[in-house]
Structure 1
Amino acid sequence: MRCEIIAIGSELLLGAIVDTNSPHIAGRLHTIGLELLYTSAVGDHEARIADSIRLAMSRSEVVITTGGLGPTVDDMTREAVARATGRALIFDEALLGQIEQRFLRWGRTMTENNRRQAFRPEGSAVIENPVGTAPSFIVDTGRSVVISLPGVPREMEYLLDNAVLPYLRRRFSLTGIIKSRTLHVSGLGESVVDQQVGDLEKLENPTVGLNAHSGVVDIRITARADSEAEADRLNAEVERAAREKLGDAVFGANADTLEGVTLARLAGRGEQVAVVEIGTLGRLSGRLAQADNGRGTFRGGQTKPALDPGADAQTLARDAAEQFGAACGLACVVRAQNNTVEVSVGLWRAGKAGRWARGFGGHPGLAPEWAANMALDALRKALAG
C-alpha cells in the first residue's frame, strides 16, 4: 500500500516554518503497516496544489494533505481537492452548524469568513474536528483516497489517531504492522559498518539501512509482519546478527544515548567523571549534565580558551580529574590551524592515560559534536574491561 503526504502552505517554501507534520504522520502510518513513499510541499496556489494531488493519486493509494483548511482566502485545499478529483465544491449546512456550535461553546463570535470552512468536495466524508474549527474530509475515488487534515499539529495529530488511522484500517483491511528498531554504533565509520553488515542490508524483510551523524552510525532494522510479536522476532534475529558482527561498537538501541550508556557504566562501578573542553562550546559537559545518571556521576567540567604551551589532552584529562575529585578525567580539544581542524581527546583513569587525535574534514561547526562523541566512546570502552 503506497502512501504520500503533501504539506500545503507557502510558509513552508519560504522557510518561515518547518514541516513537523509529515514526519509525525509517517511514524504513525508505520504502526498500521503502511509505507510512506513520497512527501512534498506546495505553496498556497490552487492549480499547483491540484496538480500535486493528481500526481500523488497517480502513484499512491493513500494521499494525505495537511494545511490549507482555514477560513482565509489563501486556504485553498478544499477547492484544490475538488478540482483534482473532478468534483463540485458544495456548501454543507450541517457542517456550518457544527462550526457555529463550536464558536458558541468557546464563547467566541464567528466571523463571516469562517463560513468558507463549511465547503467540501461533493461526495466526501466529513471528519469532525472537536479540537479546532477546521473540518477535515476524505474523498474516496475507488482507486485511492485523499485525506485532508489541518496544518495545526495539535489538531492534525488528534484527527490522525482518532479518525484517520481507524478509517484506513477498515478501508484497506489492514491487519499487519511495520516496526523498527535502531542500533547505535560508535568508533567505526559508516563505510566500515557497511562492510561488516552489508549482507544484512540486502535483506527484504526486515530491511536494514544506515545513517551516520557526527561519529555515530545508526542501523535501522524494519520488519513487516502480521503481529507485533512476529515483527519483534524478525528484528531480533537481524539485531543479533549485527551485534555479532560489530561487537562492542554497538553501544545501544532506540532511545539509548552515548552519554547515557557511558554514565550508566560509570555508575555501575561507583566512579565519576570530570571534563575539560577547548573549542567545543561546552558540548560534552552539557550532554553529561542532562543525561540520566548525570547527577551522581558527572562531577563537573570547565572550558578553556586555548591549550596551554606544553600541555596535551592527556594532561588536561588528569588535571580535570584531580580538580573535581573524580576517578576519570576527559578532555576534548578542537583546534583550527592552517585551514585544518584537529579533534583530540584525552582520557585519564586509574593512573592510566590515553590520547586520540584525528583530522576533521567536515564543517567546523560539527567538530564539537564529533569531539564529544570521541571522548564518550573512549571512556565507554575503557570501562568495558
Structure 2
Amino acid sequence: MRAELIAIGSELLLGEIIDTNSAHLAQKLRTIGLSVERFSAIGDDVAAIARLVQEASARAAVVITTGGLGPTVDDPTREAVARAFGQDLEYRPELWEQIAERFRRFGRTPTENNRRQAYVPAGAIPLENPVGTAPCFIVEHAQGVVICLPGVPREMEHMLETRVLPYVRERFNLRGVIKAKLLRTVGIGESMIDAEIGELEKLTNPTVGLNAHAGAVDVRITAKAESEAEADALIAPVAAQVREKLGDYIYAEEKIALEEAVLQMLAMRGLTLTIAEDGTRGALNAKLALLPQAAQVYRGASVLNASPLTEEAARLRSERSADLALALRVTATPEEKRIETALASANDIKTHTQTYGGALTNLAQWAVTVALNQIRIRLARQEPL
C-alpha cells in the first residue's frame, strides 16, 4: 500500500518557506509500514488542488495534505477537497465551539473569519486540534482516505502522532514497519560506489539506494517487515556486504555529520585540533566551532599566511599547543580549482592536493569535506601522533 503527500501553499512555490512537513510525514509513516510514493507541492488554487487530490486518490490509498486550513480567503484546502469528491462544505457547531474555547484560553475573541475553520466537506470525520485553531479532517472514499492536516509543523506533528498514525494503522490493518539503516561514506564518488555495490542496488527487500552530497555519499538500506527485529535481520547481511565492499570509506552508521565524527574521534583519543583556512570564507571553522565537543578538543582557527602549507601547519600547531594542526588553502583560477591541505602532528606533516571540477559555488563545501576527511583518515590509522 502506498501514500502520497501534498503540501499546499503558494509560499512553498515562491521559495519563501521550505516544506519540512513532507519529510517528517514520510519518516513517521514508514514506522507503521506505509511507503510514500510521491510528494507534491501546489499553490493556493482551489481547482488545481481539487484535481491533484483526485489524481493522488486514484493512485494511493492514503493521501495526506498539509496547509491551507487557516481562516483566511487564501486557505483553500477545505473547499478544494470538498470539490474533489463532489461534496458541499458543512458547518460543524462543535468545531466552532472548540475554536472559540481555544481563543478563550488565550484571553482572545475569535473573529468571524475564524468561523470558516468550522466548515468541513460533508460527511468528513473532524479531528480536533488541541494545539492550534485549525481543525483537521478525514474524508473516507471508496479507494482510501484523504487526511488534511495543518501546515504549522508543531501542530501537524502533534496531530500525526496522536490521531493520524493510530487511525491509519487501524483503518488499513497495518502491522508492519519500514526501517532504514544509513551508512555514510566520504572520499569515494557515487559512481565508484555504484561500481562496487551495483548488484545490491537491484534488491527489492531490502532496497539499497545512494544519496550524494558535497564530497560524500550516503548508502541507505531500507527493509519492510512485520517487526523491527525482522527488518533488522533483513538489513544486517546487506549492510555487512556494503561494509566489506566500501571498508574505510564508511565513516558512520547513523545520521551524523562528518565534522561531528571527526571531533568524536579526537575526543576518544584525547587529542586537540587547530586549523587555518584560506579561500573558504571560514567554512571549516564554522562547521567545527559550534559543535558540543568543540570546547573539549577544538583550539580554534587562525589566519593562514602566504607561507608554504607545511610551514603554516607546523606554526599553527606550535602557537596553539594542539596535537594536530590543519592548514587548508583553496585557489580558483579560470584554468583550475585546487584544494590543498597540510596536517601536522608531533611526528610528521601529511599533505594532500586535489583538483575540483564542479561549480565554484560548491567549492568551499567540497574543500571542507576534503579537509575533514584528511583528519579522519589520520585518526583512523591509530598511529602515534
Give me the TM-score of the superposition, normalised by structure 2: 0.95
Distance 1:15 1:196 in 2: 38
- Pick closer, same or farther for the CA change 1:258–1:148 going to 2, 3 Å: same
Which shows bigger deviation, 172-181 or 316-325? 316-325
Distance 2:285 2:202 in 1: 40
Distance 2:353 2:200 in 1: 32
Q: Counterpart in 2 of 1:67?
A: 67
Distance 1:94 1:376 in 2: 58
Q: Compute the displacement of 1:158 (Å).
A: 0.8
Q: Compute the displacement of 1:292 (Å).
A: 4.4
Q: Counterpart in 1 of 2:326?
A: 330
Residue type matched to 1:250 in 2? I
Residue type matched to 1:184 in 2? R
The answer to whether the 8 Å contact 1:124/1:137 transfers is: yes
SS at match of 1:323: helix
Aligned length: 381
SS at match of 2:351: strand
Distance 2:112 2:53 in 1: 29
The answer to whether the 8 Å contact 1:183/1:218 transfers is: yes
Which shows bigger deviation, 12-21 or 243-252? 12-21
SS at match of 1:342: strand
Structure 2 residue 364 is matched with structure 1 residue 368:
yes
Distance 2:295 2:106 in 1: 45
Structure 2 unaligned residues grouped into runs of 5+: none
Distance 1:247 1:370 in 2: 22
Q: Counterpart in 2 of 1:296?
A: 296
The answer to whether the 8 Å contact 1:251/1:261 transfers is: yes
SS at match of 1:383: helix
Distance 2:104 2:291 in 1: 47
Q: How does 1:163-178 map to 2 (within 5 A)?
A: 163-178=163-178
SS at match of 2:115: helix
Distance 2:112 2:360 in 1: 54
Distance 2:269 2:36 in 1: 45
Q: Counterpart in 2 of 1:347?
A: 343
Residue type matched to 2:298 in 1? F
Residue type matched to 2:194 in 1? D
Q: Counterpart in 1 of 2:198?
A: 198
The answer to whether the 8 Å contact 2:58/2:143 transfers is: no
Residue type matched to 2:360 in 1? P
- Pick closer, same or farther for the CA change 1:120–1:269 going to 2, 3 Å: closer
Structure 2 residue 277 is matched with structure 1 residue 277:
yes
Q: Compute the displacement of 1:339 (Å).
A: 4.7
Residue type matched to 1:327 in 2? D
Q: How does 1:1-385 map to 2 (within 5 A)?
A: 1-304=1-304, 308=306, 311-385=307-381
Sequence identity percentage: 49
Q: Compute the displacement of 1:321 (Å).
A: 1.0
Q: Compute the displacement of 1:314 (Å).
A: 2.4
- Pick closer, same or farther for the CA change 1:264–1:109 going to 2, 3 Å: closer
Distance 1:143 1:4 in 2: 13
Please give the root-mean-square deviation of Cα atoms over the aligned residues, in Å: 1.5
Q: Compute the displacement of 1:350 (Å).
A: 2.9
Q: Compute the displacement of 1:219 (Å).
A: 0.5
Residue type matched to 1:201 in 2? E
Distance 2:379 2:321 in 1: 18
The answer to whether the 8 Å contact 1:263/1:292 transfers is: no
Give me the TM-score of the superposition, normalised by structure 1: 0.95
